[in-house]
């Protein structure tokens, strides 16, 4: 019993130390590498992309019935974590069951998932459909689309 309490106290002390170090680094003006993926509800998408000049949004489903969706979120998260461009933000819109595309709430017809759309100045600018290779390649594609991609036209729902 004593060793279990000692382990819990040691873990708690390490967590506190890490928190203090992180706080000191941020207070000193340090920045964390990478981007977090913001989880959005379908009806939050329009406001999110309007607030950000360049955004990459993943449309996917946690439903295990979508075989192509399995693991896509992990690759997307890893690509976001590698991002060093603070003008490019990442978000995800998910729904279940996977076949129930929330078209009326999104304002876009999605013909396949997973799908990643790069938005620039509030407008869809490029897309990547399906599963991709590694996160480095995926991030490179996002950055390329955000800079030079051609605008993608979507059919109205």
Domain 33-148 top-level CATH class: alpha beta
Domain borders along the chain are 1-32, 33-148
pLDDT tens-digit readout, 60-78: 999 999 998 888 889 899 9
pLDDT tens-digit readout, 98-131: 888 777 666 667 778 888 999 988 888 888 887 6
Q: Contact at 8 Å (CB) between 88 and 80?
A: no
* Paired sense of beta strands 88-94 and 37-40, if any: parallel
Helices 72-82, 135-148: axis angle to 10 degrees equals 70
Closest among 55, 19, 74 to 127, alpha carbons compared = 55
Lowest mean pLDDT among 80-89, 130-139, 148-157: 148-157
Spell out the residues 6+ positions from residue 88 whose beta carbon is closer than 8 angstroms to its own.
Answer: 35, 54, 55, 56, 142, 143, 146
**pLDDT at res. 104:** 63
Outline where the chain has alpha helix (H).
Answer: 2-27, 45-51, 72-82, 103-106, 135-148
Distance CA 145, CA 151 (A): 9
């Amino acid at each position: 019993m004593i060793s279990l309490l000692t382990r819990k106290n040691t873990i708690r002390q390490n967590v506190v130390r890490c928190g203090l170090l992180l706080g000191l680094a941020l207070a000193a003006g340090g920045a964390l590498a990478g981007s977090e993926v913001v989880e959005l509800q379908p009806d939050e998408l329009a406001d999110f992309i309007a607030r950000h000049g360049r955004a990459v949004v993943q449309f996917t489903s946690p439903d295990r019935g979508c075989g192509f969706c399995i693991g896509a979120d992990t690759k997307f998260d890893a690509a976001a974590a590698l991002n060093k461009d603070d003008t490019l933000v990442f978000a995800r819109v998910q729904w279940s069951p996977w076949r129930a595309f929330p078209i009326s709430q999104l304002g876009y017809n999605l013909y396949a998932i997973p799908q990643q759309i790069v938005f620039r100045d509030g407008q869809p600018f490029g897309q990547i459909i399906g599963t991709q290779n590694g996160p480095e390649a995926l991030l490179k594609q996002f950055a390329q689309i955000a800079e030079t991609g051609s605008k993608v036209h979507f059919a109205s729902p």
